[in-house]
Amino acid sequence: WLIDPRATTQEGTMRRMDLMEAAELAKDSYKGGARLPAVHTPVDVGHVEAFLLRDMTLVIPGSESLHDYTRSNLVTTPAKLSWPGRGAAGANAIWHRGFANHALVIAKALGSLKPKFIVGHSLGAAAAQVLGCIWGVPAIAFASPMPLKSAGRLAHEHMVLNVVRNDDFVCRVPPRSLGFRRAGNTEVMMPRGINVGEDHSMKQYIKLLKVERRDKTIVKSWP
């Protein structure tokens, strides 16, 4: 990963990651830990899966089972979740209950381990937004739903980058009409012409990301 010596936080040097590297991690996370760089701690609790790599990057794949929908995606009621010791500003915000619970399972499974960077796709992107705000670490979220209902900007929102396609329906749920929004910053990718294939898949995100990078219409790395 790229390390920018000018990018620092109170905890020291902040990791800087290339968006294409993050996209490849998100894609490979669906194939299990064998396709990822060396895994330090795998998370496999019920329907929740994530991988903490040895370089302390947390990679969170998206929905892969019916339980992902019944226990996370479709549990749309808002919730104010108090997570002792996990950052009051983010933890005490009002979140989409299903997405926040998904993130909480990962946090509990990791215990005292704290990632230095977070990457997620879809349901994993929702969890990445939650955890990025709570832990105050950089996060890149692809195909991001809108998990945050709190109107006021949270202390660590500036650490989160969402990368979305304007033709991806998942990036518009839960609807803004219910008061939900994405946490952090958003880069919107605009497909050229008719897209063939699933707009929401990491394969299609990577394909369009290559075009955006060539045309210099998206940031190259984060933060």
SS3 110: helix
Question: Are the C-beta atoms of residues 95 and 81 closer than 8 Å to each other?
Answer: yes
Residue 209, both tokens: 């990301």
Q: What pLDDT is stored for residue 7 in this prediction?
A: 41
CA torsion angle 77 201 33 68 (round to 10): 20
Establish if 223 belongs to a structural domain: no
Q: What is the per-residue pLDDT across 55-74, written as a single tens digit (0 to 9) for each? A: 999 999 997 644 433 344 44
150: in domain: yes
Report in angstroms the alpha-carbon separations of 181 from 41, 60, 131, 159: 31, 20, 16, 16
6 domain-assigned: no
Domain count, the chain: 1
For 163, the token pair is 């990368």
The candidate with the shortest Cα–Cα distance to 212, out of 26, 61, 3, 23, is 23
CA-based nearest residue to 189, from 172, 213, 173: 213
Q: Over the stretch 21-45, which tens digit does the pLDDT of each residue have?
A: 999 999 999 998 889 999 999 999 9
The answer to whether 29 and 47 are in contact (CB under 8 A) is no
Q: How far apart are CA 114 and CA 72, in angstroms?
A: 23
Give residue 70's domain range. 16-216
Q: Is residue 118 part of a domain?
A: yes
Residue 25 and residue 50 in contact, taking contact as beta carbons nearer than 8 Å = no
Average pLDDT over residues 183-206: 88
Residue 220 has which token pair?
């190259």
Cα distance between residue 6 and residue 135, in whole Å:
21
pLDDT tens readout for residues 83-101: 655 555 565 688 888 898 8
Instruction: Confirm whether 7 is domain-assigned.
Output: no
Q: Is residue 186 part of a domain?
A: yes
Give the full edge-to-edge strand order of the sheet including 221-222.
2-9, 12-18, 221-222
- Residue 4 placed within a domain: no
Q: Which CATH number does the domain housing residue 122 bear?
A: 3.40.50.1820
Phi, psi for residue 173 in degrees, rounded to 5: -125, 150
* Residue 8 located in a structural domain: no
**5: confidence class by pLDDT, cuts 50, 70, 90:** very low
Give residue 47's pLDDT. Answer: 86
Q: How confident is the model at residue 192 (pLDDT cuts 50, 70, 90)?
A: confident
User: What's the chain's length in residues?
Assistant: 223
